[in-house]
Amino acid sequence: MAKFILHVGDAKCGSTSIQGSLKQARASLLENGLVYEIGSSGSNHIDLVRLVRPHSRGNLEESLVRGKEIVESLRATLKKDQTVLLSAENLLALPPEEFLPILRQISPEDPEIKVIAYVRAPTDMYLSYAQQALKGNRYFPKPESFHRPLDRFLSAWRDFPFVSEFRVRPFDRKRLAGGDVTEDFAGVLQELTGREIALPQTARNRSLSAEQMIVLQNLRRSVLPDHDGKLHPISGRYIRWFLQLNKVEMIGHKPALSGAACGAVAKINRRMVARLNALFPGVDMVLREGDATTWKCGADVADLLADSSPETVSQLTSLMPHFSPELHQGMTAQARNALEALLSSDPERRRKQLRLTKQMLRDSDCVPAARVIRPKLLRVLAPD
């Protein structure tokens, strides 16, 4: 009987941290009989899911090739005493019978499947979903229609005939082992395998600020309106810049859901959460109820946010060549003033922020503007 452990998600529940840790620990996992084969797919198995449901915001053809490579590699090298460990955050919403043919391609024997899932209250994960949507779209899922049927997804996997063990864990740092999802996941692996499993800590995903989300939507609307549903190098360049800046110090407000939007998400998911808690004792999911303010169904991401600064939005925009094309000729007074206002007062952080912005401008073919940024001097020279 072929053995599999599937980490099925959910999205926005620490999957990137888990997968990065599993990638680093592949050798030690193999010593414990766990095969985490990722081929050229990065650190996860989303490409295997795309073999079943061929959709991608990136290059689908390349993704399908990578998925087939993983299947072929596992089929050629898997030994009888080994267990295949797969991780893909979009597996949770996939009916298990649709994924079964992929497992049979890896090994034709009937599989023994053990499943690990992490879940998060929709009111806590909604804003992350909206942010992810804006990376490849000018639109975002509306709060009043953001229904996440976690009870149905989990039940389908738990009740699948080939699943022998099922673990569902709340993605709540107060309840995770050591307050860390990677440490918690290692503990669940130990329970399922009876082996001593240690996973290294990895950096957590960085979030865009509230103001950066607003700027990103404006960019998708004004510059990339014909590229909805797809990632694009232009938006990708600015997203990298935003996230790198935030790694040094958050530029703007940490995004928080407004009371009205939170209330709308809670309203549509309340019955689901009640069913989930009844079906899976110990999860004890709690929705944040928001406030009594009526959600007005706005199309601007700013409508979702509890707080944001129009001034910071304007400052970021003045530094982006697709909004300020005069940067191709050189640094502007407006951009210089904006950068000075956004920079940290800490010298080392300031130096890093200047370097990152200088590189972004170079990558955007704004070499004259980049040239006057002097990280070593901790300043931006005045435009001529």
The answer to whether 75 and 84 are in contact (CB under 8 A) is no
Residue whose entry in the numeric block shows the structure tokens 């996941």: 185
Q: For 176-194, what is each residue's pLDDT tens digit?
A: 999 999 999 999 999 999 9
Rounded CA gap, 295 and 287, in Å? 17
Side by side, the strands of the sheet bearing 2-7 are 34-35, 83-87, 2-7, 111-119, 163-170
Residue whose entry in the numeric block shows the structure tokens 């607003």: 214
Rounded to 5°, angle at Cα 177 from 175 and 178: 105
The answer to whether 209 and 241 are in contact (CB under 8 A) is no
Rounded CA gap, 338 and 327, in Å? 13
pLDDT, one tens digit for every residue, the chain (384 residues): 899 999 999 999 999 999 999 999 999 999 999 999 998 878 899 999 999 999 888 899 999 999 999 999 999 999 989 999 999 999 999 999 999 999 999 999 999 999 999 999 999 999 999 999 999 999 999 999 999 999 999 999 999 999 999 999 999 999 999 999 999 999 999 999 999 999 998 877 789 999 999 999 999 999 999 999 999 999 999 999 999 999 999 999 999 999 999 999 999 999 999 999 999 999 999 999 887 678 887 899 999 999 999 999 999 999 999 999 999 999 999 999 999 999 898 999 999 999 999 999 999 999 999 999 998 888 888 755
- In 144-277, the DSSP E strands lie at 163-170
Dihedral (Cα; 208, 243, 198, 116), 10-degree rounding: 40
SS3 292: coil
Tokens of 96: 């298990």
CA distances from 66 to 25, 26, 218, 334, 338 (A): 21, 18, 34, 46, 43
Helix ranges restricted to H, 12-142: 15-24, 26-31, 46-52, 60-77, 96-106, 122-134
Angle between the N-to-C axes of helices 333-342 and 347-363, in degrees from 0 to 180, rounded to the nearest 10:
140
| Main-chain phi, psi angles of 94, to 5 degrees | -90, 125
- In 306-372, the DSSP E strands lie at none
Contacts of residue 233, defined as CB under 8 A and 6 or more positions apart, other chains included, come to: none
Helix/strand number for the chain, H first, E second: 15, 7
Chain-centre distance for alpha carbon 154: 20
Rounded CA gap, 243 and 223, in Å? 20
The residue type at 270: R
Find, among 337, 328, 322, 313, the residue nearest to 362 by Cα: 328
Rounded CA gap, 60 and 41, in Å? 12
Chain-centre distance for alpha carbon 372: 35
Tokens of 177: 């082992």
Rounded CA gap, 59 and 305, in Å? 32
In this predicted structure, what is the pLDDT of residue 379? 84
SS3 97: helix
SS3 3: strand
The residue type at 294: T
Q: What is the pTM assigned to this prediction? A: 0.90
Question: Where is 85: in which H helix or E strand?
Answer: strand 83-87
